[in-house]
Amino acid sequence: QVRLVESGGGLVQAGESLRLSCSASGNRGSIDAMGWYRQAPGKQREGVSCISGYDASTYYLQIVRGRFTISSDKSKNMVYLQRNSLQPDDTAVYYCATSPILGLCNLWDEYDRWGQGAQVTVSP
């Protein structure tokens, strides 16, 4: 069983930066990809970024490309999401998730384990 714990959420002003961290513990044998989702108030959850455990290829939602950077440290079982130039529209609960799929990391329906979420609020 894999347990995911996010940290690094908080309240910032527009234009500022925050880094989210996610630690994975337990049986990592079932993990290949790790990703970040977010859910804003009144909106559906959306995949924001992910990284493949196979070849470290990454994916970004178009609206965050150039502002967000995903990275991982397999030795520490950690994945990070550096978010720069945050905007009020980035306000959401951000979730870390894992997928057992080898290769492509943006097969969002395949993610099957989730953290508890971290609130990020960006004020104008």
| pLDDT tens by residue, 17-30 | 999 999 998 876 66
Task: Tell the residue number behind the tokens 């880094």, with chain if given.
Answer: 19
- Digit-coded pLDDT (tens) for 63-119: 999 999 999 998 888 999 999 999 999 999 999 999 988 888 999 999 999 999 999
Amino acid 28: pLDDT = 64
- Is 94 or 54 the better-scoring residue by pLDDT? 94
39: Cα separation from own chain's centroid: 11
pLDDT at 1: 79
Q: Measuring CA to CA, which residue among 24, 40, 32 is closest to residue 90? A: 40
Q: What is the reported pLDDT for 30?
A: 62
Helices (H) and strands (E) in the chain — how many of each?
Answer: 0, 11
- Residue corresponding to tokens 């306000």: 91
- The span from the CA of 92 to the CA of 82, in Å, is 15
DSSP label at 61?
Answer: -
88 DSSP 8-state letter: G
